[in-house]
């Protein structure tokens, strides 16, 4: 064990710990969930600390020896070499002070070690005075949210959704001649093709991708440099502009300084905007998953218009049962994202005066949503969607026996008369085509032409 001192007194720490007194206090104070902010967020913290050190070094505020040590330590954090040292629970001190100090202490102690001294020798490199120079929890944590969320969306979520969109588009072409009965209110409707139905799925995912892309653009505005409340206190006048350029250089992303750092620290609206778009895609994916479950229901007593790949046994008691497990999984993930969005909305609106102190829970829920959505969409696409096949005979049967075919008779005999034909067809168990031929309303040739389900799809 070693002993460190902070402004409240002495704290015992494991010798091997890179974190320091403030982190240990937080670890002891918040034994809440066992959850930690994810690798992507820690990486973003490392990027910020590296960018800050280089910026302060370029301004002559840190000597080269200290700068190089902090650079090396921060780079190791970025690479994930010290993730085990980030030990603060998600449910922690407001604004993320503990999380920021966790990063400051880990980087400071590792830098001290690189200079040949023992951890805790803060006269050499201090967590606050050197690693946190010209920064505050209040501007670094929202900046880390922006960096980590933007990278996650760009690298994971949008590629996953694009893969699903491509597969949906492919299926819409594959099924373009598979005629079936449409359904509205879960009742028989006019004919359509399975391809047309799937094209609707594809377009909805495409639209959600656009919304997510647009929402993520707000994450490019970083409040870093605003420091405690937005004034930039204790920061060099050139710090704000230079650190944003350095972050952009390190990430390869065109981040820019927030137009108003006061607003950027008071609120976390970029996270709210992105979360709303995640809510939107979750609603879309829930609808698609539910439709896939309906269309594949059966195999003998349901719609059975499509067949899903069998990926695992569906029952512990009913032999041979196969369930739409991938669609069910996607449903559960989407419901979780809706819950995360509610948490984020509540946390964002909880901002008071110069600061929103709920940022850790916002970061957790936002990044968690992106991760599980990305993984769920990839799994659903690979294990389910790519293997979907059409039951063409069943689809055709439904299309030809649907009483909604009477809709095509409206221009010929009028709505009221067509309704009587539909009712008679249903009552007698005959098709609309059989009824109009028997009644002499249409000849067999006319009936085959006018009531051809595929022609009625407009394909």
Residues with catalytic function = 315
Determine how many CB atoms are found less than 10 A away from the CB of residue 319. Answer: 7
CA pair distance 230, 135, nearest whole angstrom: 11
Q: Are 274 and 219 in contact (CB under 8 A)?
A: yes
What's the rounded Cα separation, in Å, for the pair 171 and 185? 25
Q: Which residue has the tokens 């780079």?
A: 75
CA gap 308, 326 in Å, rounded: 9
The residue assigned the tokens 């026996």 is 401
Please provide the DSSP assignment of 244-265 as one string: HHHHHHHHTS--EE-S-HHHHH
User: 233 and 227 in contact (C-beta within 8 Å)?
Assistant: yes
What is the Cα–Cα distance from 303 to 286, expressed in whole angstroms? 19
From CA 422, how far away is CA 389, in angstroms rounded?
Answer: 31
What is the C-alpha separation between 290 and 188, in angstroms, rounded? Answer: 18
Residue found by looking up tokens 């402004």 in the block: 7
Contacts of 150 (CB under 8 A, 6+ apart): 216, 219, 220, 253
Q: Tokens representing 31?
A: 């034994």
- For residue 403, the surrounding DSSP H or E stretch is none
Please give the C-alpha separations between residue 235 and each of 70, 130, 342, 445, in angstroms, as whole numbers.
18, 12, 36, 85
For the chain, the maximum distance between any two Cα atoms, rounded to a whole number of angstroms, is 102
Q: Which two tokens stand for residue 358?
A: 């709920």
Half-sphere exposure for 255 (CA within 13 Å, toward CB): 33
Closest CA to 273 of 220, 214, 222, 223: 214
Say which residue the tokens 């969320």 belong to: 149
How far is Cα 135 from Cα 33, in angstroms, rounded to an integer? Answer: 28
**Exposed, middle or buried, 444 (CB in 10 Å: 0-12/13-18/19+)?**
exposed
The pair of three-digit structure tokens given for residue 302, joined into one six-digit string:
């349901």
């Amino acid at each position: 064990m070693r002993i460190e001192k902070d402004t409240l007194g002495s704290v015992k720490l494991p010798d091997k710990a890179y974190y320091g007194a403030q982190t240990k206090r937080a670890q002891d104070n918040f034994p809440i969930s066992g959850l930690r902010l994810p690798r992507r967020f820690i990486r973003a913290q490392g990027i910020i600390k590296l960018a800050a050190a280089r910026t302060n070094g370029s301004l002559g505020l840190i000597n080269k020896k200290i700068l190089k040590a902090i650079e090396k330590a921060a780079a190791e954090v970025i690479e994930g070499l010290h993730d085990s040292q980030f030990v603060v629970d998600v449910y922690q001190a407001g604004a993320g002070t503990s999380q920021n100090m966790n990063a400051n202490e880990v980087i400071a102690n590792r830098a001290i070690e690189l200079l040949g001294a023992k951890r805790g020798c803060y006269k050499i490199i201090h967590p606050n005075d050197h690693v946190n120079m010209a920064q505050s929890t209040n501007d670094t944590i929202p900046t880390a949210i922006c960096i980590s969320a933007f990278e996650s969306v760009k690298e994971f979520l949008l590629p996953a959704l694009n893969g699903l969109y491509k597969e949906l588009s492919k299926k819409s072409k594959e099924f373009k001649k598979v005629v079936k009965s449409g359904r509205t209110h879960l009742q028989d409707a006019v004919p359509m093709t399975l391809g047309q139905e799937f094209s609707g799925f594809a377009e909805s995912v495409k639209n959600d991708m656009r919304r997510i892309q647009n929402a993520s653009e707000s994450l490019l505005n970083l409040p870093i440099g605003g420091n405690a409340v937005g004034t930039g206190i204790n920061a060099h006048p050139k710090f704000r502009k230079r650190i944003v350029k350095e972050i952009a250089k390190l990430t390869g992303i065109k981040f820019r300084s927030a137009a108003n750092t006061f607003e950027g620290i008071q609120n976390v609206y970029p996270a709210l905007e992105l979360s709303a778009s995640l809510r939107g895609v979750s609603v879309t994916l829930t609808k698609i998953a539910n439709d896939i479950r309906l269309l594949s229901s059966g195999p003998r007593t349901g719609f059975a218009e499509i067949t899903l790949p069998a990926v695992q046994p569906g029952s512990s008691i009913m032999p041979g049962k196969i369930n739409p497990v991938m669609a069910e999984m996607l449903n559960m993930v989407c419901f979780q994202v809706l819950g995360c969005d509610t948490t984020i909305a509540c946390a964002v609106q909880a901002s008071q005066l110069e600061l929103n102190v709920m940022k850790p829970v916002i970061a957790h829920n936002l990044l968690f949503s992106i991760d599980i959505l990305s993984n769920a969409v990839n799994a659903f696409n690979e294990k389910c969607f790519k293997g979907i096949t059409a039951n063409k005979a069943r689809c055709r049967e439904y299309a030809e026996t649907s009483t909604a075919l009477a809709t095509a008779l409206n221009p010929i005999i009028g709505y009221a008369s067509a309704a009587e034909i539909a009712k008679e067809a249903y009552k007698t168990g005959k098709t609309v085509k059989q009824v109009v031929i028997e009644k002499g309303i249409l000849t067999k040739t006319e009936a085959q032409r006018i009531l051809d389900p595929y022609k009625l799809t407009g394909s």
